[in-house]
Chains A and B, each alone.
Chain A
Amino acid sequence: MQSSSHAAEGALPVPRLAGHFASLEVQNHAARLGMWLFLATEILLFAGLFICYGVYRFLFPEAWAAASRSLDLTMGTVNTVVLITSSLTAALAVHYAKEGKNKMVAVQIALTLLMAVGFLVIKYFEYHHKFEIGTLPGRFYSYEGIQLPGVPMYFTVYFCSTALHGLHVVIGMVVLAFSMVRALTKADFGPNNYTMVELGSMYWHLVDLVWIFLFPMLYLV
């Protein structure tokens, strides 16, 4: 239907084949490949923090163990469940987009966004608690609860990595919201045109994946 080659006139519906691509297939392949590469760079970004985590954990094993027990495991677990479920709804959104059920796409993304908000709210309570007891990073640190060298470094790493992850949650929400609006206003997702939802959901899976690493690292071990 919408595979008219060369630039069509009119507004900006997405699935148009850009003039420099050989076919729609190649165009989608390029988009997906680009996204995979981008996700790889995101993982590498977090990898830097994981290395810091590993090095300091090696340098201060007791402090690391003690400090990680001071985190609220229940909140962390609830958040993990919330995020994994939101990944499921994001995947469902892609499924419905392929079938052209634009209403359902919007519903699934809305559910995903709702859970994302839930995640952030729980994170807010966790942060709030830390602000109160003074386990802030660097020179704002004033916690007296655990007296071991290296504990402040634990919280520095904690804040750096969860804040960076939180930032990604927010970015992911914006990306998904964009597709949701598209589904509602234009309703143009269908078998030939679901790349946008697919890429957004790939990004969301990354956010989820990073958390799945962060959770055991920070809360469990």
Chain B
Amino acid sequence: MTPSSSIAAPGATPAPEEHHDHHPSYLVDGTTIKSWLLTVDHKRIGLMFLFWVLLFFLVGGIFALLIRVELLTPGPTIMDAMTYNRTFTLHGLVMIFLFMIPAIPAVFGNFLLPLMLGAKDVAFPRLNLLSLYIYLGGAFIALWGMLNGGLDTGWTFYTPYSAHTTTTVAPVLFGAFIIGFSSIVTGINFIVTCHTMRAPGITWFKMPLFVWAIYATSCIQVLATPVIGLLLCLVTVENLFGFGMFDPARGGDPVLFQHLFWFYSHPAVYIMVLPAFGVMSEVVATYSRKNIFGYRAVAYSSLGIAFVGFFAWGHHMFVSGQSTFTGGLFGVLTMLVGVFTAIKVFNWVGTVYKGAVDFRTPFAYFCGFLFFTVFGGMTGIALGTVSLDVAWHDTYFVVAHFHFIMVGATIMAFLAALHYWFPKMFGRTYHEGWGLVSAALIILGFNATFIPQFLLGNNGMPRRYYEYPERFQALNVASTAGASLLAFGFIIIAMYLTYALVYGKASGKNPWRSKGYEWVSESPPPTHNFVGPQPVFPEEPHFYVDPKKAEVPDAV
């Protein structure tokens, strides 16, 4: 398909042709449907994840727009109250469990981890394929439930309501439980890969920062997911058979549910953003043409976030009747997370400082990302202050906070990754101009959607309501307008990337002149990643010469 697969490497690491002469890229090595569906190649599995993740993103996005249209007017607009509840539940579930959690690890982690470690594949390739099918199985069970009856509890499934509602709780929870398995399997696979598959010479502190981020994420996945798995099972039997574990009418304790739920779901937000941080560390080094500032600090702070993330869950329960002392304690622990995040932010900024910045599409997303992370993180600190949270809890302020940091940062990173590694994955380039235009649209649209929501929440508009008083309308209209802009940006991206997939120019091996390990192999890589003997990586990752002397990459 792509001629570039046979283009010779322009220099650097030699790839002696001692084996066979022809090494097709992974894209064309086997073209039958079966060769894709039963592949154990991590790169193909990554691409299949990409396909599904994008599809679910589309589904979640359509439901987001429906929500925004409904909120255009104070009264009923296009649906009834019950449909509204089901719509935002479906939106939240699809976005969180089917898009955000797997997006970066399952797509880019799968594709890049072995390449960045100089390995031929992940440690357990067949388990890897299995995790894709587990994910799809869970996804379809959950979606089936949501379309046949729907679920109206919101993505948090709070008891005792979820134990009593007559909507279809069981299949959806069961689906989510199965998806959790996929997450665990992927996590175990990545951890073992980092431990056993590093090429000779790649020590722990020579691993690229993206690998560090995925490693930390996998640790959270493995440690937190089983707990929510159990919880989902308990709520399911509670709903089906009235077990009463969390139902006060039977002596159960609903707040216990919240503790267990947030014990997973707070770390889960880092499952979503840590990989994003990892992507950005790669992007910022490449386009500033500088070694990352404070490599070890960035690596350790990922582990630090993963660790303290487990002790902050109580900040979701400031108004659940926990003692003032507990509230204060969780508030302080919450702010610790902010400290670790700040370390990263300073290091990224330090990397750009005096760099030879090459302002490309991924770098544009980096700028958006920095803004969303800082702004979202600061509102997080504010929310971690008990006295303030009592006012903001369950208002649109919280919605805006978590969309800013979680969705904003993750989407920026996802799009940056998609553009940055597009040539690696497909051996082709996209149109830079369109890339920058759509990045601007998306960043603008995002701000226009969620800044009004901060104001709405601060003025007292509660989340999950279907009607609102007149005085909130202007800001709601602004938010909906922003959402349309955002959708428009995504449509443009879909168009030029699809075009590039088919008609894009061959990119060559390393179009960004990046020092990342993954660019050592061909673009797109051959089936076993490297031709010839095991590659060696003598330099640190992100090792750039003095930026003043650095070559400026060719325009693409």
**Which positions in A face B, CB cutoff 8 Å?**
18-21, 26, 29-30, 33-34, 37-38, 40-42, 44-49, 51-52, 55-56, 59-60, 137-140, 149-150, 152-153, 156-157, 160, 164
Q: Are A34 and B188 in contact (CB under 8 A)?
A: yes
User: Within the complex, which residue of A40, A47, A160, A164 is in contact with B245, where a contact is CB–CB below 8 Å?
Assistant: A160
Q: Are A30 and B192 in contact (CB under 8 A)?
A: yes
**Which positions in B face A, CB cutoff 8 Å?**
114, 119-125, 184, 187-189, 191-192, 195-197, 222-223, 225-227, 229-231, 234, 237-238, 241-245, 250-253, 256, 259-260, 528
The dominant DSSP class at the B interface is helix
Given known contacts A30-B196, A48-B227, A138-B250, A37 and B188 CB-to-CB distance under 8 angstroms: yes
The CA of A26 and the CA of B534, in the complex, are separated in Å by: 16
Q: How far is the CB of B62 from chain A (nearest CB, A)?
A: 34
Q: Are A139 and B242 in contact (CB under 8 A)?
A: yes
Q: Are A20 and B195 in contact (CB under 8 A)?
A: no
The CA of A160 and the CA of B234, in the complex, are separated in Å by: 8
Q: Are B119 and A20 in contact (CB under 8 A)?
A: yes
| Chain A residue at smallest Cβ distance from B256 | A55
The dominant DSSP class at the A interface is helix
Given known contacts A33-B196, A150-B251, A152-B250, A20 and B244 CB-to-CB distance under 8 angstroms: no
| Chain A residue at smallest Cβ distance from B127 | A34
Q: Are B196 and A29 in contact (CB under 8 A)?
A: yes
| Chain A residue at smallest Cβ distance from B200 | A22
Q: Are A52 and B256 in contact (CB under 8 A)?
A: yes
The CA of A19 and the CA of B123, in the complex, are separated in Å by: 11
Q: Are B241 and A37 in contact (CB under 8 A)?
A: no
- Residues from chain A with a CB closer than 8 A to the CB of B187 are 37
| Chain B residue at smallest Cβ distance from A163 | B237
Q: How far is the CB of A16 from chain B (nearest CB, A)?
A: 13
Q: Are A49 and B230 in contact (CB under 8 A)?
A: yes
Q: Are B253 and A137 in contact (CB under 8 A)?
A: no
Q: Are B253 and A55 in contact (CB under 8 A)?
A: yes
Given known contacts A26-B196, A139-B242, A41 and B119 CB-to-CB distance under 8 angstroms: no
List 11 additional contacts besides A139-B250, A152-B251, A160-B237; criterion CB under 8 Å: A18-B125, A20-B114, A20-B125, A30-B195, A30-B196, A45-B229, A52-B260, A55-B253, A56-B253, A137-B241, A137-B244
Q: Are B226 and A45 in contact (CB under 8 A)?
A: yes
Q: Are A37 and B528 in contact (CB under 8 A)?
A: no
Q: Are A47 and B241 in contact (CB under 8 A)?
A: no
Q: Are B223 and A44 in contact (CB under 8 A)?
A: yes
Given known contacts A138-B243, A138-B244, A153 and B123 CB-to-CB distance under 8 angstroms: no
Q: Are B124 and A156 in contact (CB under 8 A)?
A: no
The CA of A49 and the CA of B229, in the complex, are separated in Å by: 11
- 27 A–B pairs (Cβ distance < 8 Å), ordered by A: A19-B120, A19-B528, A20-B121, A21-B123, A34-B188, A38-B184, A38-B188, A40-B222, A41-B188, A41-B222, A41-B225, A44-B227, A45-B227, A47-B226, A48-B230, A48-B260, A51-B259, A52-B234, A60-B251, A138-B238, A138-B243, A139-B241, A153-B250, A153-B251, A153-B252, A156-B245, A160-B234
The CA of A150 and the CA of B252, in the complex, are separated in Å by: 8
| Chain B residue at smallest Cβ distance from A18 | B125
Q: How far is the CB of B310 from chain A (nearest CB, A)?
A: 12
The CA of A51 and the CA of B122, in the complex, are separated in Å by: 35
Q: Are B222 and A138 in contact (CB under 8 A)?
A: no
